[in-house]
Every structure is written in C-alpha cells, then in structure tokens.
A and B are shown apart, each in its own frame.
Chain A
Amino acid sequence: MTKLDFLYGLRDALRALPREDIERYVEYYSEMIDDRVEDGMTESDAISELGSIEEIAARILGDTAPQPSAREVKEPKKEPKEEKRLTSAGTVLLIVLGFPLWFPLLVAAFSVLISLVAVLFSLVITLWAVEVSLWGCAIGGLVSGAVAFVIPNISAGLMLVGIALFCTGLSVFGFYGCKAATKGAAWLVAKAALAIKSIFVHREVA
C-alpha cells in the first residue's frame, strides 16, 4: 500500500467527522509516514507499522465519539458571539456614518431637555419670589402700620396692619407650597435623569 492509498483510505474511513478534523488526522499520519521513511524505513513498512486503516479509524471514531455532543454544545455558543460582533461592528459603522444626522438631533433633544428643566426651575424660583415678597409685604406693612399709628392715622394704620397680617398668613401657606413645589421639581428632574441614563446604560448592555 502506498502512502497515497493509505491516506485516501483513512480519509474515507473518517468521512463521518468534520472536514477540519479529517484534514488534521490526514496531515498527522502523513507526517508520521514521512518521518518513518526519513528514518530509513520503506514506505510500505512505515504504513504497515501504523496498523490497519480500520483499526486507526475505529480508534479515532471511538475517541471522538463522546465529543460531538460537546462540540454541538460549544458551537452554538460561539456563533451568537460572532454574530453579535458583526452586528456591533455594523452598529459602529452606522453610528459613524449617521453622525451628521444623529448629532444635531441629539443636541436638539438635549437642549429641549435643558430648557424644560430651566422652565421648571424658573417656575419654582418665581414661587419663591412671590413668597419672599409676601414676607416683605408683611414686615413692611407691620412697620408702616406702626408708623401710621404713631403719626396718628388710625384708619391707614389699621389697613396696613391688616394687609401685613393677611400677607403673613398667605406666606405661611405659601412657604409649604413653595417647599412642596421645589421638592416636586427636584424629584421630577432626578427621575428624568435616571430615565435617560437607563436608556443609555440599557443600550450599552444590549
């Protein structure tokens, strides 16, 4: 039997295996024959020393028999990984090419968000300004009322003190209102920030 006959027979006997594995075995046994010949053996002696093709094939198939299941488990794991890598490469390409489109959109979305936050906080600031002016009215009314009693202009003094008391009362209510509004605004902004962050974090994970 020549080396070519042997390798052809081996290839045929191993045809149940994946192509890659067959090539490995053929290369291996081809190298073994060549090395024996180089060592001084004749080709047919080298081949007969390896044993019969049937024995070798039975042994290989016996060795690899438990593996196919392991290989089947492994391969599906590999494939999604490669797919994912491909899609992520495609995503990167899309992101790069779409830059002129998505960047202005992103900036616009961001500025809209910023302006919404600004509007919210200006409302809160306005409320506080009203509150502070109510305090001012209360204090100013009391002081000017006291002055009016001293002058004496009783009716003006009564009116001023009345307004001052009214403002004090309102400011007490107003204070709780302002506090609630500030808390509400802060909560809303924090919630929105979390929501936006979760969008980006989620995308990174996926």
Chain B
Amino acid sequence: MDIQLKRGLLDICVLAAIKNEDSYGYKIIKDVKPYVDISESTLYPILRRLEAAELLTVRTAEHNGRLRKYYRITEAGKARIAAFKEEWQELLMIYGFITKEESDDKA
C-alpha cells in the first residue's frame, strides 16, 4: 500500500484499537497487525503524534511488577474516527471516479 495512504490509515487504526477500552503498545500492535502491517518502530511515532494532538492520553500503570503505558482515547480522538468515516464517503466517490476513468479507457 502507498506509504502516505498507509500512514493516515494507521493513525485511525490505532485510535480504533483503543476506541472501546484502554490498551497498551503490544496489544495495539496485535490488534492492528491483521489489517495493516505495523511494527513497534512504526507505532511509537504514531502514539507520540496522537498524544501531541490530544487525540489520546497516556497513563503509566503497574502490571506484573513492572510499568506499562496505557493509552486512552479522548473525545477529540473519537471525533477524529467519526470524521474519518465521513471522509470515507468522499474516498468512495474518488474511487468511483478513478475506476470510471479505467472503464472508459477500456471502452
């Protein structure tokens, strides 16, 4: 997949992974990986970016005698997902336009 397109999608995917309950780094990767390829080094800047944009908050909690960072979606983060759903309609129209060109070429 195109890197720019994937990058934008990954932000939404990470938000979607914490949409229903708080999650932590490894779990986010496990949840997102079946759909979009994501690695630890890819996730880190995304988390930092989303945190800076206040789309998620970070808290550190103890887990099995060590510290683990948990990520929680904010209202702005939920709004970002909602906005993406709307953008998707536009994308579908663009897709329609692109495929129409193709069928015209063939004809």
Residues on A facing B (Cβ under 8 Å): 25, 27-29, 31-32, 34-36, 38-39, 50-51, 55-56, 59-60, 63
Asked if A51 contacts B68 (CB within 8 A), the reply is: no
B45 touches A32 (CB 8 A): no
Indicate which residue in A31, A35, A63 contacts B45 across the interface (CB closer than 8 Å): A63
Q: In the bound complex, how far is the Cα of B41 from the Cα of A34, in angstroms?
A: 16
Closest to A60 in B: B41
* Contact, CB under 8 Å: B67 / A31: yes
Q: Between A and B, how many residue pairs show CB distances below 8 Å?
A: 42
B26 touches A31 (CB 8 A): yes
Residue contact A50 to B25, C-beta cutoff 8 Å: no
CB nearest neighbor in B for A39: B26
B24 within 8 Å of A by Cβ?
Answer: yes
- B50-83, CB < 8 A from A: 64, 66-69
Q: How far is the CA of A32 from the CA of B66 in the complex (A)?
A: 12
Within residues 10 to 58 of chain B, which ones have a CB less than 8 A from any CB in chain A?
24-27, 39-41, 44-45
Name B's A-contacting residues (CB within 8 A): 24-27, 39-41, 44-45, 64, 66-69
Listed residue (B39, B41, B67) with the most chain A CB atoms within 10 angstroms of its CB: B41
Question: Are B44 and A31 interface neighbours, CB within 8 A?
Answer: no
Find chain A residues with CB under 8 A from B64 CB.
34, 38
Residue numbers in A under 8 Å from B26 (CB-CB): 31-32, 35-36, 39
Contact assessment for A25 and B44 in the assembled complex, using a CB-CB cutoff below 8 Å:
yes
Chain A residues contacting B40 (CB-CB under 8 Å) are 28-29, 32, 50-51, 56
Q: How far is the CB of A32 from chain B (nearest CB, A)?
A: 5
Q: Which of A27, A34, A51, A60 has the most CB of B within 10 A?
A: A34
With a cutoff of 8 Å between Cβ atoms, the chain B residues found around residue A59 in the complex are 41
**In the complex, how many angstroms separate the beta carbon of B51 from the nearest chain A beta carbon?**
11
> In the bound complex, what is the Cα–Cα distance between A55 and B39 (angstroms)?
12
B4 shortest CB reach to chain A, Å: 15
Docked CA distance A63–B66 (Å): 28
19 further interface pairs, Cβ-Cβ under 8 Å (given A51-B41, A56-B41): A25-B44, A27-B69, A28-B25, A28-B44, A28-B69, A31-B67, A31-B68, A31-B69, A32-B25, A32-B26, A34-B64, A35-B24, A35-B25, A38-B64, A39-B26, A50-B39, A50-B40, A51-B39, A63-B45
Q: Which 9 A-B pairs have the closest CB atoms?
A: A35-B26, A59-B41, A32-B40, A63-B45, A56-B41, A31-B68, A50-B40, A28-B44, A32-B26
Distance from B14 Cβ to chain A, minimum over Cβ atoms (Å)? 14
* A residues in contact with B41, CB < 8 Å: 50-51, 55-56, 59-60
